[in-house]
Chain A
Amino acid sequence: MGENLTGVAASPGIIIGEAMLLEEDLSYEKEIVENIKGEKERLKKAVQRSKEQLASIKEKVLSDMGEDEADIFKAHLMVLEDPELISAVKEKIETEKINAEAALDETIDKFVEMFADMDSEYLKERAVDIQDVGNRVLKNLLGKEVISCSELDKKVVLVAQDLTPSDTAQIDQEQVLGFVTAKGGRTSHTAIMARSMELPAVVGVDGVLNELQRGDQIIVDGVNGKVIIKPTKEEIAQYKAKAEEYVARKKKLAKLKELPAVTKDGHQTEIVANIGTPKDVKGAIDNGAEGIGLYRSEFLYMDRESLPTEEEQFSAYKEVAKKMNGPVIIRTLDVGGDKEIPYLNLPKEMNPFLGYRAIRVCLNQKDMFKTQLRAILRASAYGQVKIMYPMISAVEQLRAANEILAEVMNELREENIDFNADLEVGMMIEVPAAAITADILAKEADFFSIGTNDLIQYTTATDRMNENISHLYQPFHPAVLRLIKRVVDAAHEEGKWAGMCGEMAGDKRLTPYLLGIGLDEFSMSAVSVPEVKETIRNLSLEEAQEVAEQALSYKTAEEIENYLS
């Protein structure tokens, strides 16, 4: 058997090819020098060469990819032109009488340390850029060839310790089959580049460079995060089949993108996606989602030191509304003591899931709530925006929230600011109390979106993170299925629609049941859209209704799961 290694699946796809190792040997000897002038001259030349390389990379990236990606290199150039940096290195050469390599490396290290120590995430990341620039000058000083993939005569799998923006910018996409790096995670630079180039990649494969030699055959499974070095004939055959299957599936799903979620007998439903940031909209559209069923607004509040302003929020909501060109349901802030929002000073609670969170916090912190509502309403002038309140447990809360919303609408009217006064305002059903009184709530909400993740936890009294009892978290529990049906019926009774944004909506085993009980909208992660759509298109409503009826007749989750699988 070939050498089997595991890492993090960074970009999907399966490829078999020859490995090309990118070694980064930047070692040097620290030496005392006599010719100070000569050293400074060497430094100057290396810096100049680096600037030229960066300028040409910047141009290439600008035309191949765009301004945002090219900005990284603009930043690198600025670092090189920084008078403090160059003068610090020169001074070191003069006073310590050491070679340019040592002077440069030590100076860069100091700056990297300074930035890595800073509080701001943004500045910490700049440390990586500074290191990248420093390495480039060092390579030029050492006379090492900076990676040149244009000399490849065949397609290869690039294997390296890690790939920096400079490295990947010069890669000729045509020559690369995929990437494997020893370091990195799902959001590292290699992963991002690989995904945008649509090439398979596995990162964080500890020790991969030790096992590999240039020219070795390597299998890269970017779907499962596996790498196989020097595979056997059987393994090659096995993976060739997997690769073909993957490509065929991808083609088929691409066709589905433009098709509507209509059953064989013409019953139409809506398939939409769950997103966290405006960047996710592209993935939603690419996978064939018709809109956004859940925009998790809390991402705007996380990883920062203060509340997002109305403008910041408005900008994000507007971007999504315009890009999507379909319905966009924005959920108001859904956070609690268990999420990282330190500046809200939410108390640490014994039972955060049963505690002060989501709509409860918003109804209490009116100013913060109003700012968000203002931003959402303003965005409604730019697209089909809808509002949804999380964790409503009683109709009084729905009324209180709507009262505040009305207040905000009046304020906007007085300020002559545009918004869609007729926008739909609905709520999530995730608390059992709400599910059971859905008939009362349906009279005052424009729609329901069932949040199954929390609904299941609350209904079965199970913390899905608790390993001891997580098997009790059962989407197929008859109680859950019954509650969902009750909610859908209650909505329809009042002429309102009911959708679902929890994980169950993206599970194709449950699609027939959900379709059969009349769910109007399915919202899920973008990647699940194609399969659920396919399932719907291959069913008739009549069949689905039969499935639903049958499923409800069983007494245990196991029976139901077996029936539906």
Chain B
Amino acid sequence: MVCQNATIRNETGIHARPASLIVQKAGQYKAQVELEYGQKKVNAKSIMGVMSLGVNQSKKITVMAEGEDAQKAVDEIIKLIENGFGE
């Protein structure tokens, strides 16, 4: 299991566009990928799951993955978040 934390940078948190970017990215990997925010844990490949997380700016989330390419999956998603999803 690979785990890493990241802080959300962009103003409006994880709204539709960032959510779909995460889902698209997570979908590229074979590993099982999850996002954890507070008590909530969701499947990072589920658009509705990620959107329903309701994460705002400056909040911290944990990206977790398990499986073949788990490390790459986590790294790439963390990169997305730290780049503010290109906004």
Contact = CB atoms under 8 A, between A and B. Distances in A.
Interface of A: 75, 78-79, 81-85, 111, 114-115, 118-120, 122-123, 126, 130, 309, 312
B51 interface: yes
B52 A114 contact: yes
23 contacts: A78-B20, A78-B23, A78-B47, A79-B47, A79-B48, A81-B47, A83-B45, A83-B46, A84-B42, A84-B43, A84-B46, A84-B49, A85-B46, A85-B48, A115-B48, A115-B51, A119-B54, A122-B15, A122-B16, A123-B15, A123-B52, A126-B51, A130-B48
Interface string B9-41: 001000110001001000000000000000000
A83 B43 contact: yes
Given A78-B20, A78-B23, A122-B15, A84 B48 contact: yes
A82 B48 contact: yes
Nearest to A80: B47
B46 A82 contact: yes
Interface of B: 11, 15-16, 20, 23, 42-43, 45-49, 51-52, 54
A312 B11 contact: yes
B52 A115 contact: yes
Nearest to A308: B11
Contact of B48 (A111, A119, A120, A122): A111
A122 B54 CA distance: 11
Nearest to B27: A81
Given A79-B47, A82-B48, A312-B11, A123 B54 contact: yes
B52 A82 contact: no
B47 A82 contact: yes
Nearest to B52: A114
A123 B52 CA distance: 8
Nearest to A115: B52
Given A75-B16, A122-B15, A312-B11, A82 B54 contact: no
Contacts of A84: 42-43, 46, 48-49
A123 B46 contact: no
B47 A120 contact: no
Contacts of B16: 75, 122, 126
A444 to B, nearest CB: 37
A75 B20 contact: yes
Q: Which 8 A-B pairs have the closest CB atoms?
A: A84-B46, A78-B47, A82-B46, A82-B47, A82-B48, A84-B49, A83-B46, A83-B45
A75 to B, nearest CB: 7
A78 B51 CA distance: 12
Contacts of A312: 11
B36 to A, nearest CB: 15
A123 B48 contact: no
A83 B45 CA distance: 7
Contacts of A75: 16, 20, 47
Contacts of B42: 84
Contacts of B46: 82-85
B20 A82 contact: no
B49 A120 contact: no
Nearest to A111: B48
A83 B27 CA distance: 10
Contacts of B47: 75, 78-79, 81-82
A304 to B, nearest CB: 9
Contacts of A130: 48
A85 B43 CA distance: 11
Contacts of B48: 79, 82, 84-85, 111, 115, 130
A74 to B, nearest CB: 8
Contacts of A115: 48, 51-52
B42 to A, nearest CB: 8
Contacts of B49: 82, 84
B11 A123 contact: no
Contacts of B11: 309, 312
A83 B52 CA distance: 14
A115 B16 CA distance: 13
Contacts of A114: 52
A274 to B, nearest CB: 28
A461 to B, nearest CB: 43
A198 B48 CA distance: 35
A75 B21 CA distance: 12
Given A75-B20, A312-B11, A123 B45 contact: no
A219 to B, nearest CB: 40
A29 B54 CA distance: 35
Contacts of B51: 115, 123, 126
A313 to B, nearest CB: 12
In the complex, which of the residues B23, B47, B49, B52 has the most CB atoms of chain A within 10 Å of its own CB atom?
A: B47
Given A82-B48, A84-B43, 10 more contacts: A81-B47, A82-B49, A84-B48, A85-B46, A85-B48, A118-B54, A122-B15, A122-B16, A123-B51, A126-B16
B20 to A, nearest CB: 6
A498 B38 CA distance: 57
Contacts of B43: 83-84
A361 to B, nearest CB: 22
A115 B49 CA distance: 10
A119 B16 CA distance: 15
Contacts of A85: 46, 48
A354 to B, nearest CB: 35
A106 to B, nearest CB: 15
In the complex, which of the residues A84, A115, A119, A309 has the most CB atoms of chain B within 10 Å of its own CB atom?
A: A84
Nearest to B57: A306
Contacts of B23: 78
A120 B16 CA distance: 11
A383 B1 CA distance: 54
A145 B29 CA distance: 37
A14 to B, nearest CB: 38
